Structure 1
Amino acid sequence: MPAQHLLTKIADTAGAVRVMNRSGLVPFPRVDQGIRSLLAVRKYGPFAGPVHAHAEARLDAVALIDERGPLTYIDIDEQSNALVRAWQAEGITPGSVMGCMCRNHRGLVLTMLAAAKNGTRLVLMNTGFARPQLVDVAAREQIEAFVYDDEFRQVAETLRDDVTSYRSWAEDGSASQVRTLDDLIDGVDRGPVPAPSTEGGFVLLTSGTTGTPKGAPRGHTSPLASAQFLDRVPLRRGQTMMMAAPAFHGTGVSQFALALALGQTVVMHRKFDPENTIRLVEKHRCDVLVVVPTMLQRIIDLGPDTLAKYDTSSLTIIFAAGSSLSPDLCKRTTAAFGHVLHNLYGSTEVAVATVATPADLALAPGTAGRPPVTCHVELYDEAGQRITEPETVGRIFVASGLSFSGYTDGRDKERINGLLSTGDVGHFDRNGLLFVDGRDDDMIVSGGENVYPLEVENLLADREDVIEAAVIGVEDADFGHRLRAFVVPAPGSAKDAEEMKAYIKSNLARYKVPRDIVFIDELPRNATGKLLRRALIEMEP
């Protein structure tokens, strides 16, 4: 290992330990607790291990609250032990591959814990999947068993015709003959289970906005990697977290795993509703709210009168990740809740790249922030040369201890000097803050000029008469492509397309002005809030 790389590794390790100690994840000076936690992580992995350690220490805390009520750390540890034994009796052995299509509730949590303890690879399916996507992913990942919510029964049962040696269980009451998880664990021994002979892990799926989602596996990682999230986000022991983001995706599962490691209480609700989310924050005095940006947008769009009905003064952290935050949404969130917004930028493949703190967002609304400890971000041009000049746009590459090693189908993202491509382009300003300018493949060439839609979208979203906007390129005989903007107007707005074009022209270069502005009720998005640009391309103007 080159000397510089060794020094970087030593500095990263020392920084990670300091961060974890500050957050309470490394319980100095209680060495006995630290040793117990490390042994549990070694036995069951970084997700189930801390839960087992808390249960062994008889932690007197509620781990989870869902529509069915509270479960303690001892409850979820023991129930997941029973589920491991039940699965093993059904032939699910270490090394098996399972799928799960569940919303946020105890069934998903127990499935995730039991899979880790059983040494099972768990593929976390998107709850927005239709039959073709589910069948394609299940076949590619070689899924042998499936856990699902009853609402997805018709989609899930199509797998019976496509997957050999297939078994399935419903999380809740099913009209079919499939047994529920409650049935499986009823009367089963709940004592500790032996360590699995092989490591389990999650397969997170990419958003699939351009085709069938790819699988990004996550095996056992170093406990030090948790410092990436804790360095710039003040998550601490004893907090209560409202998990609004779907726990099957990277944002949700990463923050849920941290909450469990810190012994926090996590509040979940099956389906997201903006006002109900705020109601639950008030009811449970939540310190932390985890959302994807579209959820945050819907909460803010409730308006000040509705938000004022609920006491959300307990909130010290709103954690948003999954897609870009417009400057307008950053400013409106701060106006509604104070300086509590933290914006994480990363991807399913690289995990964490940068985090913007409230101070960063006050200085530069919309920024992606700075790399936390153990993360390194660099920009490269098309020739693979590193960009060091501020304000110069380049392709974003990241080194992170949580980055994946390649997709499950054998493909990989581009790598340069040990850093992994995010697929985005961006720039650093003169304060060292990162700004994401858009997806590399979203760039539109119009009349020989390069346009990244995000710049136009953010400008439109900053208007009071616009809720949100999306810009795409459509073919044009003269310019190759021209811009078309889809705008979700605010209630009662004038919907004046020509005035909006004039506004864009007065703020941006002429070639960035959309030829068409189309008003629609809502932008098409998938279950994790990602914009479906393909669906916009297929829309009639």
Structure 2
Amino acid sequence: MGDLGYKLKVLRRIGLLKAQNPVRLVKAGKKLASWGPGFPSAVGAAAARKPQQVAIIDDAGQLTWRETSDAINRLTQAFKDKGFVPGDPIAVLCRNHRHMVIAMVAISQFGGRMLLLNTMASGGQLTELVKREGAKMVILDQEFLPVAADIDRESIVVAWEDDETHGLPTLGSLAKGLSPADHPKPAKPGSIVIFTSGTTGLPKGAKRKEPENLEPLLTYFGAIPYEGNSTVVVAAPLFHSWGLLNFGFGLSTVPTYVLRRRFVPEQVIRDIAKYKAEVLVVVPLMMQRLVDADPEVIKNHDVSSLKITASSGSALAGELATHFMDTFTDSVYNFYGATETGWVTIAGPKDLRDAPGTAGRVPWHTVVKVLDENGHEVPQGETGVIHVGNSMMFAGYTDGRTKDFRDGLMHSGDLGYFDEAGRLFVAGRDDDMVISGGENVFPRELEDALIEHPKVQDVVVTGIPDPQWGQCLAAYVVVREGEELSQDEVVDYAKQHVARFAVPRAVMFLDELPRNPTGKVMKRNLPAFETLS
């Protein structure tokens, strides 16, 4: 299929070429034509095409697309009345709900620089990031006020309020009584800064621009088959690039978003069943918790409407995708990429069943090569450093640094290989590789084996110094509730499933692993092992 055929097929499926009310279609077209791709134009077009369709279902109720667009326009006017101009930075520290959506699109609509902060940020991190990025306003949920104790209260506006004791302005009070009229395109387009996980220190700010054309959207929806007007449960946090990408791209399909402030597996299952949701956006840790949800809730709720479970943010451990699909529906589409790289590959249900653990195939208009240390492409089946080129790569870090490139392709930081079917497999981070007795060992191989042990709830593997072998693997294990497991049992199980040099020499049992909201293990917070003798 040529490029034109590909584009037409995708545009028809997501509803952009569907027969519609001509007056509404013209209005939507004008918004898209004058603004170009981006949050404001997509919301404006959705409100023009389907004004009475429910846009957001959250813990406060429902909003239509017209109500959502009007609220965004009022808040945009409030920002302008306060003197904000294109390029001004505004920090956002919110969970998933209507006020976060309204704030994000309004900031983009006046041309602001949106700083999306991690809900697990410490007080020190928050203060330093707000100062470093020059935020002129901090929009946050009331629950985060204690974390913002050192932030100037004059700059704080509350998004979600639990009660009225905070004594601060809210987004609603700022916008009250203002005009819902549309706004002209700003002189300078808005931008977004997403902060990396910060697993090794203060998070770096990764700059992202609004798409310049429809190519990113066409690539994404060509690989993950969204349909127009679907109901989408966004469980992944919106402050993270994965949740944000699905929200932003999804806008063009005029969906109904189901947003909850906190992830509760049983609530997600109920939402899918109640609203007949076709799409679920998660990180892998959420998939594991859904599989482990109350069996009665799983049994008593019909989730057969679920066609897409879009997953990203960290590696799929073991055969998690298969377990999820066996429990729910054959719907998993796993997106391998990062905040900096955008997508690299995408794996659909068939490939995840045929080759568990695969990162998937290279999508349309994307280049992925596996290179050796000299920059030469390695043969199929051999491991090297994954490099990628696409239309969604980031625009550098806010401190001026960027990633390494080789012949126009970005260094992903990961090692991997392609199989004979063209599927990519990720061995692990290039800085995670352990050399044990002269063998290259990747922690993920052991993690994928141990997570399949029936008594293991969670696991992460690291490399530690070893006086005999130079380095060796060590496992941190969380045992399932009500079960008992010894170090010898873990080692014996490993001996049956991995090569001898990948068997852990040390095991530590923990009540839980320190994970961030996207499921990545914060390795700097793991307790240290004693020196091996």
Secondary structure in structure 1 of the residue aligned to 2:56: strand
Candidates 304, 311, 325, aligned match of 1:313: 304
Q: What's the counterpart of residue 4 of structure 1?
A: none
Q: Closer, same or farther in 2 for the Cα pair 1:480/1:35, shift >3 Å?
A: farther
Superposed, which structure 2 residues align to 1:237-316 within 5 Å?
Answer: 237-302=228-293, 304-316=295-307
- Give the Cα separation in 2 of the matches to 1:15 and 1:344: 24
Secondary structure in structure 2 of the residue aligned to 1:158: coil
Residue type at the aligned position of 2:238: A
TM-score under structure 1 length normalisation: 0.92
Shifted more, 220-229 versus 195-204: the winner is 220-229
User: Contact between 1:45 and 1:199, CA under 8 Å: does it hold in 2?
Assistant: no
Shift of 1:194: 1.9
Q: What's the counterpart of residue 187 of structure 1?
A: 177
Unaligned runs of 5+ in 1: 1-9
Q: What's the counterpart of residue 60 of structure 1?
A: 52
- Give the Cα separation in 2 of the matches to 1:519 and 1:363: 33
Q: What's the counterpart of residue 473 of structure 2?
A: 483
Superposed, which structure 2 residues align to 1:309-458 within 5 Å?
Answer: 309-387=300-378, 389-458=379-448
Q: 1:34-57 CA deviation, whole Å, 9 max, x = no partner?
A: 894474364275112111012234
What is the CA RMSD across the aligned residues, in angstroms?
Answer: 2.2
- Is 1:26 matched up with 2:34? no
- Give the Cα separation in 2 of the matches to 1:24 and 1:287: 13
Q: Closer, same or farther in 2 for the Cα pair 1:88/1:408, shift >3 Å?
A: same
Residue type at the aligned position of 1:262: T
Q: 1:74-105 CA deviation, whole Å, 9 max, x = no partner?
A: 11111111101111111222210110000000
Shift of 1:71: 0.7
Candidates 440, 444, 459, aligned match of 1:469: 459
Q: 1:283-322 CA deviation, whole Å, 9 max, x = no partner?
A: 2111111110111111111254441122211111111110
Shifted more, 372-381 versus 483-492: the winner is 483-492
Residue type at the aligned position of 1:171: A
Q: How many matched pairs?
A: 526
Residue type at the aligned position of 2:54: V
Q: What's the counterpart of residue 90 of structure 1?
A: 82
- Give the Cα separation in 1 of the matches to 2:376 and 2:285: 35
Shift of 1:106: 0.6
Shift of 1:138: 1.8
Secondary structure in structure 2 of the residue aligned to 1:155: coil
Candidates 94, 100, 120, aligned match of 2:92: 100
- Give the Cα separation in 2 of the matches to 1:19 and 1:295: 32
Candidates 160, 164, 171, aligned match of 1:172: 160
Secondary structure in structure 1 of the residue aligned to 2:100: helix
Shift of 1:19: 4.8
Superposed, which structure 2 residues align to 1:1-16 within 5 Å?
Answer: 14=4
Q: Closer, same or farther in 2 for the Cα pair 1:35/1:178, shift >3 Å?
A: closer
Secondary structure in structure 1 of the residue aligned to 2:147: helix
Q: What's the counterpart of residue 450 of structure 2?
A: 460
User: Contact between 2:37 and 2:214, CA under 8 Å: does it hold in 1?
Assistant: no
Residue type at the aligned position of 1:256: F
- Give the Cα separation in 1 of the matches to 2:382 and 2:219: 26
- Give the Cα separation in 2 of the matches to 1:345 and 1:121: 27
- Give the Cα separation in 1 of the matches to 2:435 and 2:352: 30
- Give the Cα separation in 2 of the matches to 1:248 and 1:531: 18
Secondary structure in structure 2 of the residue aligned to 1:231: helix
Residue type at the aligned position of 1:447: G
Shift of 1:135: 2.0
User: Contact between 1:468 and 1:489, CA under 8 Å: does it hold in 2?
Assistant: yes
Shifted more, 29-38 versus 377-386: the winner is 29-38
User: Contact between 2:465 and 2:471, CA under 8 Å: does it hold in 1?
Assistant: yes
Shifted more, 474-483 versus 232-241: the winner is 474-483
